[in-house]
Structure 1
Amino acid sequence: MSLEKLNTVLAAGYENFPKGRFISLVVLRTTHSETIFRTEGSGEPMSSEFVQAGLTDETIIPRLVMTKRKQIAPERRYGREFLRSHNLLYTKTVKDQGEVVCSLNTNKPCEMCIDCFLYGFAAGGGGAQKSRIWTEDAFSVLPANDILGTRTINAIYENGTMRLKREEDTKASQSLIPDGEYIKPGVHFLDVVTLKDVTADELRYIVGNILFTSRYGAVSSRVGRMENQILGVFGSITELPSSLELVQATYDALGEPLEHPLNINRVITATKQVITNWQNRRGVSVQLSDEELANLITDVETHWSEAERDTFLKRLSQSYEPFRQIQPEKNKGKGKGKNKNTQVEVEN
């Protein structure tokens, strides 16, 4: 079994109370097309923060930010596609609506599916489940001004030109879509994802969501193609260094020159050089070797394969059966005791 080395930090089964078992994934995310990460609407600048360039290089630079929700939301939706196709999303009785299938951003979590048990929910009158996938902002390796581009797009009519009628030929061309920023292809983000008290099958489910999700950010049906690679897996009794510390240490290890496009093999080598030293950090008990990591990924791909996926997902879903409780709908009272069904988790 490829997960044997992680047995000391894997839970034998789902438990309601935490027991201090951490598994951390070091993830390299690389854009393979133009990509847009912003927190506001169209036309807003890309999400960025001014931070120190490295741990030893004290220069202050702007770095692009892939916020935690921009990571989790697409990965969560990817997993839910297969829960839906294998009939593993549960229903919830809602007043005046009857049985409603579990759905994100509708204030109607079923509280019983794999997604709810792993990624969490909060619903008034129905309890809560804290997410066991801990994320933080991922930062670009290079400064923002080196990896951003702008483009103006022509507004073409259905006749294939920028003029609607022939008699308008003497007039100026019709409107252009204003300049908009985008992240260039070949940009690298580094990230640390922490899993808390997960089982072997839960680990397979989460890693599969990360490896197989391929679209992120705004306008993901047109742009936002991204590849995720797991460069390291650690077991510990505490969290690893933050994503910011990781990208700063990698920046130092890369040395000069640093310019876009940055060779991905160079980034991988520098990152692995940094995380090799994490084996000796306080609280770390397990680090998978390159061969063990490759075996883990092969194991995940096997369980997610067409031949094994149904058995795998149903086995994982069945593991929560002792903890599933159907919550009867409560009548809304008056005054301060009034219950409101509210889901806190918001997905972009």
Structure 2
Amino acid sequence: MSIEKLNPFLAPTYENFPKGRTVSLVILRTTQSETIFRTEGSGEPMCSEFVQAGIENTEVIPRLVMTKRKQVATERRKGREFLRQYNLLYNAPKGNTICSLNTNAPCEMCIDCFLYGFAAGGEGAQKSRIWTEDAFSILPSTELIGDRTINALYENGTMRDETGKASTALNTSEYIKPGVHFLDVVTLKDVTADELRYVVGNILLTTRYGAVSSRVGRMDNEILGVFGGFGELPSSLELVQQVFDSLNNGENMTLEHPLNKSFINVVKSIINNWQNKRGISVQLNEAELTNLVNDIDENWSIDKQEGFLTRLNQTYESYRQIPTEKDTKKNKK
């Protein structure tokens, strides 16, 4: 029933031109281990911005930022793992290599290209239909960052080699503590039901973000709200500020890390009023949201995964522009 309730805001099939239909997600992202979000190399500070604490509370505080690129790039790679597994990535027109990110050679024909867009190196361009924002921490960054001293032992288990020379591999690096909550708003433009399943599946299946993700960066994503309409939801920053104001005015909540997870009820009470916002027509209730997640889990299950992705892949068939022999010769000149 949940998918059917969103039908007025879902495209019946993929179309080249937008028609103003949106499905928006409110996502809670919670670190489950030490995590590193920074824009430069080792030793750089965590990504943060000075913003107003709340809407009513005008104090300026630093908040941690999980940038939009750190979200969508990781989630795209998760989806592409499955496309690669089932041979649903195509050769790029430029260079005749398999479609890959960050190579200036998109295939322009796979599910990822049609959904998340492409612009570099090909014959055309596709604007992303997944609109993301920076996700902000609820609490100030000063409470959420710790320091970790890193050393590198030799194989004898000490900091000295066989000649007694001390290791110089000693460094102190910042990290984001486990249990930090980021609130995020993601907008899907003119997507089909299966495209919705694909995008949300990527979000729910992705568990590692940021730098050194093979060691740290474990994160849990939870969908708190799903809306359908013809306009965007309030921003993730506005949501965080509204939550901060509500928690700051509460009598039973201490605004310090780790934040009691009962704050989720505060978030839900705020977004439940968003259906009255301009352009927002429908919000899934708790039961419908649970049914939607169960539907997505079923389609992504090991038994149905290949069939689901193949079915979605076939919906783009009439829009694929496979290079002709003439185009190929032209590119080689």
Pairwise same-fold verdict (TM > 0.5): yes
Equivalent residue runs for 1:21-40 within 5 Å = 21-40=21-40
Q: What is the identity, as a one-letter code, of the residue corresponding to 1:263?
A: N
Q: Which amino acid aligns with 1:187?
A: V
CA distance in 1, matches of 2:169, 2:139: 31
1:67 aligned residue: 67
SS in 2 for 1:91: coil
Residue 320 of structure 1 corresponds to: 316
Structure 1 residue 92: Cα displacement: 2.4
Alpha carbons 2:105, 2:121 under 8 Å: kept:
no
- Structure 2, unmatched stretches of 5+, are none
1:154 CA drift (Å):
2.2
Q: CA deviation at 1:114?
A: 0.1
> How far 1:254 sits from its partner (Å)?
1.7
Letter aligned with residue 313 of structure 1? L
Q: Would the aligned equivalents of 1:150 and 1:179 in 2 still touch at CA under 8 Å?
A: yes
Residue 136 of structure 1 deviates from its aligned partner by 0.9
* Partner of residue 129, structure 1: 126
Match status 1:115 vs 2:86: no
Q: 1:290 aligns with which of 273, 286, 298?
A: 286
Say if 2:184 is the partner of 1:184.
no
Whether contact under 8 Å (1:2, 1:292) holds in the other structure is yes
Matched residue type, 1:85:
Q
Alignment of 1:9-88 (within 5 A): 9-88=9-88
What is aligned with 1:246? 239
Q: Tell me the matched-pair count.
A: 325
Residue 118 of structure 1 and its aligned partner are, at CA, apart by: 0.1
User: What percent of counterpart residues are identical?
Assistant: 69
Conserved 8 A contact 1:152-1:176: no
Q: State whether structure 2 residue 148 is matched by structure 1 residue 155.
A: no
Change (3 A) 1:162 1:124: closer
Give runs of ≥4 in structure 1 deviating > 4 Å: none
What secondary structure does 1:50 align onto? strand
Using the alignment, how far apart are the partners of 2:194 and 2:76 within structure 1? 16
Please name the residue that 2:208 is paired with. Answer: 215
Q: What letter matches 1:149 in structure 2? A: G
Distance of 2:199 and 2:298 partners within structure 1: 14
Q: CA RMSD in A?
A: 1.4
The code of the aligned residue for 1:203 comes to L
User: Offset at 1:273?
Assistant: 1.1
Of residues 181-190 and 1-10 in structure 1, the stretch that sits farther from structure 2 once superposed is 1-10
Q: Compute the TM-score of the two structures, normalised by the length of structure 1.
A: 0.91
In the alignment, is residue 141 of structure 1 matched against residue 138 of structure 2? yes
The Cα of 1:326 is off from its aligned counterpart by 1.3
Structure 1 position 93, deviation (Å) = 4.1
Residue matched to 1:225: 218
TM-score under structure 2 normalisation?
0.95
CA–CA distance in 2 between the matches of 1:25 and 1:250?
17
Q: Distance in 2 between matches of 1:326 and 1:180?
A: 48
Equivalent position SS for 1:100: coil
